[in-house]
Amino acid sequence: MDRPARTLTRRRLIQLSAVTAAAIACQPVAPEASSSPAATSAARKGGTLRASTLGGLPKVLHPYPEPQNNTTPASDAQNLIWAGLISVDYDKTLDYRAGPKRDLAKDLPKISSDGKTFTFTLRDDIKWSDGKPITAADFQFAWDQASKKENNWVALTTVVDRIASFKTPDPKTVEVTLKDQLARFLALGIAGAIAPMPRQVWEGKPWLDATANPEVLKPSVVPGPYVISAITAENASYTRNPNWWGKQPNLDGVTFIGANPNTVLELLNTKQVEWAQSFAPAQYAQAKTIPHASVYEWSGATGSYRVMQFNLDRPNIKEKKFREALARSINRDDLLQFEENLAVPQYGFYTNGSKWRFDNAEKYNFDMAKAKQLLTDAGYKLDGAVLKDSTGKAVKIDVLWPTTSAPRGKIATYAQQQWKQLGIDAVVTGMEFNAFVDRYQRQRDFDVAMGSFSAGLDPDGVTTQIQTGGSQNANGYTNKRVDELLPQGAKEQDDAKRKTIYDEIQKVVMDDLPNYYMITLKNFTAFDKKVKDIVPLKGGDILRQNNLQVIDWWLES
């Protein structure tokens, strides 16, 4: 599996990071629909859902975590215990809403004529888990603390730096003004990113010192449907919030049990859990053999995709024809087997499910003859089985992959064999994840890296990959036109015009070929059949997106 613990943003940040691609078709292959029509609401109440999870358990549950604490397990917990002003409807519209189940705002905000100020009105019935009402002052307190540089909130750059002012003129109103006008989806993600903090509990306590402030480890007062029951090194348990104001969850509790890749499915198999949250594609077939399990597989609008990243500052690699030869010698259909066919080909930086996808850019489909011709055209010559450049030097390239991802290793080895047919000597090196990222992102000491990115719903999410100096632009890619168009795309209010801008960006970037986009991964997970009312999300991951579907799940007795 890929880095189970590290990547994910927490709920509000998923909205906000709004990285790529909007919506499209999810094709759930759910083995069964869930709820029994005869079951009454009362019969659905009760029970604890146990989930085996990879990547450890949350170490702290700070609502405004530092970047290193912004992990997937923490994100899962945040979804259960915290709540925000608005959320993305990952089930249907893939757009923002003020959801009746859990969101704290009455409706979507009023937006000022200049598109910069967003005014939210709070619901009348919202309260903390200690029964006290949630007011705008709690939002103001949260903003005042989270916006301090020294408090190191993970979204300081992506949220705080883009907000001009945060005001709470009365107990029911939150008014956020952005520094610049942004596209609606992006702007809503930023304006709605601040969630309340129980001022009465946190005021005067150190923000990040878990010894002096135990709230950092285990917040005692929260606004979400569940409260923390216990956090240990073995499991993290949450029980129903007795003062929850929204739709009552069916489940009395949810418990995440730390597992490793070897036990995550065995726990489901032995009925020690009812949900194997994530597991490696190679275990998919095994999951299907568990008689009491339902395995779900679907393509969400968000998700991960595999990318071959080229270092544009390296000899040979910096030549477009050479890169194109490398790309055209890879058959995307071949790559699917390395993901146990839980993937689909991808031809650009927006996934197939994205409404921002552009089909008229160059796809660099598999064509070995053309690959060889491109190398000849670029002045390379085959000397026996060895490709030599114009100076007569044998061509050799370094390929990196992280050992935490077996599929990426297989793809690297496959590429090595394909490139051997071109006479290229590819040295494939697997590295421990941290060392891998350090070498290719920070040191940029590579020719080709087997990368992986996460797609969001907003097209602006690719900025970090393709903008000059972008944090994920390990390629060293720079193109003036792209740098001009990206800010325009981020500000454009009209979606049709926005699409035109991002179409052009895709055309330019695909022509330049800094990355070769390979495959989009499907979502998959496995539940015990007694867990009912599970619906694979159109938007992506079943729990980590902001839908809180878990409220509707129930256990058949």
Near other proteins in 466-495, by CB under 8 A = 469, 471-472
Binding-site string for other proteins from residue 430 to residue 449, where x marks contact by CB under 8 A and - marks none? -xxxxxxxxx-xx-------
Cβ atoms of 14 and 218 within 8 Å: the answer is: no
Measured in whole angstroms, the distance separating CA 105 from the mean position of its chain's CA atoms is: 24
- The Cα–Cα gap between 442 and 471 comes to 10
Measured in whole angstroms, the distance separating CA 534 from the mean position of its chain's CA atoms is: 20
> Near other proteins by CB under 8 A, which window of 151-159, 275-283, 418-426, 479-487?
151-159
Q: Confirm or reject binding of residue 309 to other proteins (CB under 8 A).
A: no
Count, residues near other proteins per rule CB under 8 A? 68
From 140, 158, 346, 351, residue interacting with other proteins (rule: CB under 8 A): 158
Q: Confirm or reject binding of residue 311 to other proteins (CB under 8 A).
A: no
From 93, 157, 289, 417, residue interacting with other proteins (rule: CB under 8 A): 157
Choose between 85 and 290: whose C-beta lies nearer to other proteins: 290
Longest Cα–Cα distance in the chain: 79
Q: Confirm or reject binding of residue 208 to other proteins (CB under 8 A).
A: yes
> Near other proteins by CB under 8 A, which window of 66-74, 330-338, 363-371, 381-389?
66-74
Near other proteins in 222-251, by CB under 8 A = 232-235
Measured in whole angstroms, the distance separating CA 485 from the mean position of its chain's CA atoms is: 24
In sequence order, which residues have a C-beta less than 8 Å from that of residue 14 and are 6 or more positions away? Answer: 8, 75, 88, 302, 456, 544, 545, 546
Q: Where are the beta strands (DSSP E) in 403-535?
A: 425-431, 448-455, 515-521, 523-528, 531-532
State how far the alpha carbon of 179 is from the alpha carbons of 139, 140, 160, 182, 513, in Å: 19, 18, 10, 9, 34
> Near other proteins by CB under 8 A, which window of 10-18, 169-177, 306-314, 347-355?
10-18
Two structure tokens written together for 482: 């792209």
Q: Confirm or reject binding of residue 457 to other proteins (CB under 8 A).
A: no
Q: Confirm or reject binding of residue 9 to other proteins (CB under 8 A).
A: yes
> Near other proteins by CB under 8 A, which window of 5-13, 349-357, 365-373, 481-489?
5-13
State how far the alpha carbon of 68 is from the alpha carbons of 64, 71, 72, 154, in Å: 11, 7, 11, 8
Near other proteins in 272-291, by CB under 8 A = 272
From 253, 456, 459, 539, residue interacting with other proteins (rule: CB under 8 A): 456
Measured in whole angstroms, the distance separating CA 484 from the mean position of its chain's CA atoms is: 26
Two structure tokens written together for 34: 């869930």
Which residues sit at the interface with other proteins, rule CB under 8 A? 3, 6-9, 13, 16-17, 19, 56, 59-60, 62, 66-70, 149, 152, 154-158, 208-211, 216-217, 232-235, 257-260, 262-263, 266-267, 269-272, 431-439, 441-442, 451-454, 456, 461, 464, 469, 471-472
